Every structure is written in C-alpha cells, then in structure tokens.
Structure 1
Amino acid sequence: MSQLGIPSSLAATSKLVCLERKKWYTKRTLPSIQDQPLLRLPYELLRKNFRSAHYHIEWDSNFVKDLLKQTANGSVTGKLSQQDVVNNLDQMLARMNGLKRKLTACAEEENRLYRQADARVSHLRELANVHTVDDVKYESWSRQRLDRLIVDYMLRHGYTASATSLAQEREMLELVDIDTFVAMANVRTSLQNGSVTEALAWCSDNKKELRKSGSNLEFMLRCQQYIELVRNLKLIEAITHAKKYIIPFTETYPTEANHIAGLLAHSTHTHHVEPYASYFSPSRWQMLADLFTEANLKLLGLPMFPLLHIALSSGLSALKTPACHSREQNQSQQGKQPSSSANGISTAPNKKSATPEAQGRDKEHHGTASLTTSVCPICSTELNALARNVPYAHHSQSHLLEHDLMILPNGRVYGKARLDEYATMSSLPPGKIKDLVTGQIFEADSLRKVFIT
C-alpha cells in the first residue's frame, strides 16, 4: 500500500473498516429482503397448489354426489332406464378419473416445491454455519448468492434462456424461480400483444386473493375488452359487456365507469379530448402489462424491483457518507455564485496571488481529497454516480473501531489511545500529539472530544 502512496496506518484502518462492515452486514442480513423471497415463494406456491387441489375436490365431488342422488332417485321411481343409469355411472367414473389425474399433478407439484424449499433452507443454513467472512465457505456462498441475484434480474427483464443457462451451469435450479417468471412473462407478453384472454384466466384462478388485496386488474381488463369492442364499432356488444362486467363496479370505480360510458359518444380518432383519447391509446396495453406484473408479484410476496438493485442500493447506502459528494456540491455552488463588484469587475480570489500559507492549505486539502477518493469505494468514478441518489444508512447504534474519539484542529478524528501511542512512538515531548496522516504536531489541550448522537 505504501508503494501506491497510501500511508500504512490509513490503509490498515481502511481494511479494518471494510472487515467490520462486512461482519455487521453479514450478521444483519440473514433474514434480509434478498433472502426472504427465497423461502416465501415456495410457501406461497404451496398455498396456491393446496387451494387448487381443494377446489378440484370440492367441485368434482359435489358433481358426483348430485349425479349419484339423481340416478338413485330416478332408478327407484322408474324415471331412468337401465341404460341411463349405466351412462350416469360411466360419467361419474370418468369424472373421478379426471379428479385423480388432477390430484396426481398437484401431488407432483407439491413434492417439487418441498424439494425446492429443502434446498433453499440448506442453502441458508450454510451461511448460518459460517462464523467469519475470512472463511472460504463464505466466499463460495456469497458468489452463489450473487448468481441468484443475477438470475433474478435476467428473469425479470425477459432473458429467460440466459438465466436458465446460468442456473444450470451453477447447479442451482432449486434456488431460482424460472417456471414462475416464465409463466408471468407469457401473460405479460400476451397483454403487450393485445390479448386479455390469458390475463383474465389468471384473474379467475386468483380471484379471492385479488379481491382481498384490492387489486383493480380484472376491472381494467374488462374495460379494455369494452374499449376494443367500441374501437371495432361493435356498440351493441359493448353495451351488453358493460352491463355485465362494468356497471356492477360503478360504486367502486365511479370515475372510470363514467369515462367508459362516455366512450360511446367519441370516435376512435379522438386525439385532443381527454380522458377519452387516452383510453384509445395503444400505450394502455403496456399499462395493463405493468399492472399485471405488479399484482402477480404482490400475490407471490416478491419485491417490485430486482433483488440485484436492492442489494446494490443497500450496499451503496451502507458505505455512503456525507463527504462522498460534498466536494462536488461545493464546487458547483462556487461555480454558480461568482462574485463581482459594482463596476462589473470580478472579485473572485486569484490563486496566483494567494499567500503561501493559503496555497499550502489548498494543497493539503486537495491531497486529502485525492487520498480519500483512492480509499473510499463511493468516491470512486465507477460508484460515485450510482450512489448519488441513494440515502444514507440509518444506524440505531454506532459501530466504530475506536472509542474516546478526539478531533484535531485540522478536522481529523482519531481515538485518544492511538494518538497517545503514536506520540510515544514519535518521541514527542509531553503535551504534544501528532497527526497520523499529515504529520502535523498540535498541543494536547487543543483536542476536543467527539460525541456522536
């Protein structure tokens, strides 16, 4: 590190800071938002699979019971012939065989989800068994976690083939949700292509959950069906459709219902009369696709943004400090506020005419800024722009490397024990302390204690 121009003490301090942050981050991210969907999604899919199996059992068993009752009563009263009774029995057997096939598929899906959940629990248990970030197991686990985040990012953006290839290469098909995102992408693509059939079928399968969450997806899809009927000048069918699917929601969505009724008085070439022009806009299909994606992710308990974005923003926020962008803000403010005299002559300070003391302070300041930039990851060229809009991390407790912090007259902060030790090593007289980085010597009475609230 000394060959790069970085003092060994500062390099060691920077390394310790990074290690402590890694340990702090590891301890607090076991149940993190990146890992919650890993366990929650199989649970939600198991619930959905159970509801589907229960629905098939109730529906088919009620049908068989009713048909059996009708057959028994008809055979006793003589209303049904022997051939009718045989036909009814064949129909009941066929219905039961169909139910058996459905339940077999549900059982296979349940076993697959159980295997997936076991693999994910084992994956997280590996992290629980790692006690230090220096362990080789932690490095391999974190790389696999990064691969999971990349696969999730690619699946959300439609790169299904690449995501599948990466999951197969890393042997982590049980840790990613390819089938779920593929099914969601198929419905989303159908909406972007101008079809609501697949989306309405999905709404029918999740009707109770959509009603509980207060989603208006099904209503918006029915409105789009009405808009397409009006666009194709099928006004009678549009009115019939509105009476069946839109009028019942008048109290829930009064504004949309009134606009839908007003579409009958406007042609499809309306471009300036709002909001009717927006209803005929092709961009509504993209809006419906986004609305479906939001509703689907909400039902599955998945975040709206890729997990890679969440992990990146949280990491940048944990490392970001007010000093990372303060220098650029000061430069921009100085550039926006040039000073000038009444006669129009600029009164900005001339660097050439500055005193040697001021030039020395400026040189020291710029050297310190460049030194901080070389050490701080957020101050680097690659991450500085990404971290600009990221909030500062909120810490309920202070995790510092040193206690009894003291601030020097030049603004630098060190622990008192380290200052005393460095002063002893430098053979300074009593009552004197020395800056570990710049080498400046100050009176011990000039130090001030730092309190962090």
Structure 2
Amino acid sequence: MADLEAAKINHDNHLLLDQPCLRLPYELLRKNFRSVHYPFEWDSTSVKNVVKDTANGLISGKTSPEDAVKSLDQMLVKMRGLKRKLTAAAEEEDRLYRQMDSRVAHLRELADLNTVDDVRYEAWSRQRLDRLLVDYMLRHGYDSSATALADERGMRDLVDVDTFVAMSKIRKSLEGGSVQEALNWCNENKKELRKMQSNLEFMLRCQQYIEMMRTGSQTKMLEAINHAKKHITPFNDIYPVEVSNMAGLLAYRPDTVLEPYASLYSASRWQKLAETFAEAHLKLLNLPMTPLLHIALSSGLSALKTPACHSTQLQVQPEQPQPANGTTTSSTPTPTATAAPHHHHGTASLTTRVCPICSTELNALARSVRYAHHGKSRLLEHDLVLLPNGRIYGKARLDEYAAKSGLPAGQVRDLVTGEVFGGDEGRKVFVT
C-alpha cells in the first residue's frame, strides 16, 4: 500500500512548479494589448478630429481643397503607421496563443497520468527537465545554449526564449556601462513599475548623474546639476538619503576614499544595476526570482535531507602526514578489527558520492531547505543492522549478499564499499 501511495502522482504539487509556464504568456498578452491600446485610441481620435476639422473647413470655405488634400494625406500616413503597429501586435498575439495552446496540451498530458510507473511519465518528466534547464540557462545569460537545446528538443513554444533574450540584452548593456536601453524599457513599463514601487528608474538616473560627475568637466557638471533637478530631486521625499548623497557628490572627485561617495563612483554599481533590472523584469512578469530548476531540486532535496547531512563535519579531513619510516605517530589513530573509527556523513568521499545532500554539487543548495516531515516510515527493511563503518542494511539482505559473495559463515560484506565484517560486529537498530 505504501508503494502505491508513493508512486501516485500529486497533480496539484506538479502544477505548483509549472505555474510560470502558463502565467507568462498571459502576462505578455496583457503587455501586448497595452502596447497598442493607447496608440490606437490616440491615433483614432486624432484621425477623427482631422476629418471633422477638414469637413467643417471645406463647408465654411476656410479650408482650400489643396489644404484638405494635405490633411487627408497626413491622416493616411498616420493610419498606415497604426496599421503596422496593429499587424505586429496581431502576429505577437497569435504567437502567444500558440504558446498557450502548446503549454496547456503539455500539462494536459500530466492530467492523464496517475502514477510515476506509467511509461509515459518518464517522457513527460524528461521534457519538463529540459524546460527547467532552458530556464536556468536563460536566467544566467547562456542564450545560445538555451536556444539550441529548445530547438533540438522541439519545445520552443514551451519555453520563453524571446523574453529572456530581450532581458539578457538589456542586462548586458548595463554591465557594459550603458543605461539607455534600460531607460527605454522603464519608459515602456512606467505605470507598472510605479505600481510595484520599483526604484530602478531612479537608480538609472542617479548613475547617469554619477557618470557626468566622473568626467570632471565643467560643462558636464552643469549638465549633471540640471539633470539632477529634473530627474533626481523630485524623489527627495521617497529617497531622501540617496538624493542627499547625490548632492554631496558635487564636492568629491572619483578618486575619493570617503564613503559613501567612493562606493557611488565604484564600477561595481553597474553589476548592481544589472541585478536590480533583472529582479524588476521578473517581478513585472510575475516570475519567481529563483530558477525553476533550483525550486525543483530543493523540493527533492528536502525529501532526502536529514540532520546528519549538514553536520559540522562536512569537510573532508586531510590525511595526517606520515613519517618517512612508515610508522604512525601517537596522534594518528589506527583502526583495529575491534574498534573502527566512527563514520560520519560527509567525512568520506564514498558517502558524499552516494548521498545527494552531502555532495559538493548540491550541499550549498540543500543547506537552506527544510527537513522533510514523514508521518510514517516507508520502505524500511526489517531487522536493521548497523555495520562498524556506519552504514545500515537489513539483515536478510546482508545474508543474501554474503551467500552470493561466497563468504564464510558468520561474515557479511558491505553492499556499497565491499568491506567485510564479522557478523557479531554489527549492532541491531531499532526505529521508534
């Protein structure tokens, strides 16, 4: 019964991880609608006014036929521009609807599965793993690799390559010392950023001011003062400390060591701006800050994590140097047949290879996750035996393996390390 319960698929838990897969096309549809809604309203109203004024002018005789033709030509130019915007928006909307159909179909496949033993589940989970890998690579700037993997697996509609590539382009421009593309993005999403109370645009304007001050030119310093009056001082009520620091920057040159002005001139601010932009971009699209691959790994690691996995002895202890004659010193304990050294998780390379939590690759990620709560023990062997090396097995399995290995009666062999122990060296383990 326990095996059947463990193999049963919890669809709700699966969908928690796949929420961004469905949410992002919806958010992009909203953004696409907003991008053409206001231009359409503005241009259509303008055209109506031009037609009305031209007609009234012709009727009253105040407008000549030549002026009326010019007005109509201007109206046609404006309508053609609006048509191009609407055509591009319609193509983008079709692409997003195609993405939504593909993603709904992908998740519908999961709804038809009941257990992880179903052969179809392996193919589905493999595809989801590929999606998580593409998401991870896109978030870390590996755009070419992510695109190649998505195209190779034929799942371009299941991942958000275009969105993250656009984000990566702006992020790299910030890391390269340019704020213009980020400011353009802020202007396109000004209302949403204001609702989020994001300070991204303010930080970008401050960086522009800092770069003007860095030149030391009198002309640039005057431009910086005018720039501050227009873009920085209006935020004095919201960011009083930052505005005060910007004002104080007038008295300090880039080579100053006095804080906070030395930090303001520091080149590391560009990296901070890039990270702030990435956070604002993800928050705007309701995407998690953490890569989905880390979220999936964390849930699996939590199910395996035990208090022993993050003991203070996770670092492998270096071997003590041996004298030239090969004898051991008194400070180096020598294991004997009757007293083997206690074996902790993480202190031996074998353990770290076997335990995912103790492995060097996943240890840091698993450190912050919670321990799993198990209401009852599952898949627990009977007559557990603790071997001198700290590993635990069921007695029946040890006896069976000893017989297959051809060991003499009364001896057992560790299934993983291959060490041989006497049967009386093991201790019974009781689980309460």
Q: TM-score range by the shorter chain?
A: 0.7 to 0.9
In structure 2, what is the Cα distance between the partners aligned to 1:364 and 1:279?
A: 53
The aligned amino acid for 1:288 is L
Partner of 1:385: 363
Structure 1 segment 45-194 matched on structure 2, within 5 A: 45-194=28-177
The aligned amino acid for 1:129 is D
Structure 2 CA distance for partners of 1:373 and 1:413, relative to 1, 3 Å: closer
1:132 CA displacement: 1.3
Please, which of 239, 250, 257 is the counterpart of residue 264 of structure 1?
250
In structure 2, what is the Cα distance between the partners aligned to 1:375 and 1:184?
A: 37
Structure 2 CA distance for partners of 1:27 and 1:93, relative to 1, 3 Å: closer
1:380 CA displacement: 6.1
Partner of 1:328: 313
Contact 2:279/2:289 (<8 A) preserved: yes
1:289 CA displacement: 1.0
1:82 CA displacement: 2.1
- The answer to whether 1:210 aligns with 2:193 is yes
In structure 2, what is the Cα distance between the partners aligned to 1:214 and 1:361?
A: 64
Partner of 1:301: 286
In structure 2, what is the Cα distance between the partners aligned to 1:73 and 1:292?
A: 51
Structure 1 segment 348-427 matched on structure 2, within 5 A: 373=351, 377-378=355-356, 381=359, 385-386=363-364, 389-395=367-373, 398-401=375-378
Partner of 2:13: 29
- The answer to whether 1:248 aligns with 2:231 is no
Structure 2 CA distance for partners of 1:223 and 1:22, relative to 1, 3 Å: farther
Could you tell me the TM-score, scaled by structure 1's length? 0.74
Could you tell me the TM-score, scaled by structure 2's length? 0.77
Provide, for residues 375-422 of structure 1, a one-character-per-residue CA deviation record: whole Å limited to 9, x for no partner. 963366566735661433353x6153389x999999x999xxxx9xxx
1:216 CA displacement: 0.5
Contact 1:46/1:110 (<8 A) preserved: yes
The aligned amino acid for 2:108 is R
In structure 1, what is the Cα distance between the partners aligned to 2:315 and 2:149?
A: 45
Partner of 1:5: none
Structure 2 CA distance for partners of 1:264 and 1:77, relative to 1, 3 Å: farther
1:291 CA displacement: 0.8
- The answer to whether 1:277 aligns with 2:249 is no
Q: Secondary structure at the match of 1:293?
A: helix
1:228 CA displacement: 1.9
1:25 CA displacement: 7.1
The aligned amino acid for 2:369 is P
The aligned amino acid for 2:245 is H
- The answer to whether 1:237 aligns with 2:220 is no
1:144 CA displacement: 0.8
Structure 2 CA distance for partners of 1:70 and 1:36, relative to 1, 3 Å: same
Contact 1:324/1:378 (<8 A) preserved: no
Please, which of 170, 180, 184 is the counterpart of residue 197 of structure 1?
180
Unaligned segments of structure 2, at least 5 residues: 318-329, 397-413, 415-421
More displaced stretch, 35-44 vs 67-76: 67-76
Q: Secondary structure at the match of 1:30?
A: helix
1:71 CA displacement: 3.0
In structure 1, what is the Cα distance between the partners aligned to 2:178 and 2:148?
A: 30
In structure 1, what is the Cα distance between the partners aligned to 2:240 and 2:198?
A: 16
1:326 CA displacement: 4.6
The aligned amino acid for 1:150 is L
1:69 CA displacement: 4.0
Please, which of 303, 309, 313 is the counterpart of residue 298 of structure 2?
313
Contact 2:7/2:117 (<8 A) preserved: no
More displaced stretch, 37-46 vs 317-326: 317-326
In structure 2, what is the Cα distance between the partners aligned to 1:360 and 1:60?
A: 91
Provide, for residues 6-40 of structure 1, a one-character-per-residue CA deviation record: whole Å limited to 9, x for no partner. xxxxxxxxxx98x679637754532223x111111
Structure 2 CA distance for partners of 1:330 and 1:263, relative to 1, 3 Å: closer
In structure 1, what is the Cα distance between the partners aligned to 2:333 and 2:159?
A: 61
Structure 2 CA distance for partners of 1:383 and 1:185, relative to 1, 3 Å: closer
Contact 1:39/1:121 (<8 A) preserved: yes
Partner of 1:427: none
Partner of 2:203: 220
In structure 1, what is the Cα distance between the partners aligned to 2:173 and 2:288?
A: 23
The aligned amino acid for 1:240 is N
Unaligned segments of structure 1, at least 5 residues: 1-15, 333-346, 420-436, 441-445
Structure 2 CA distance for partners of 1:263 and 1:141, relative to 1, 3 Å: same
The aligned amino acid for 2:300 is G
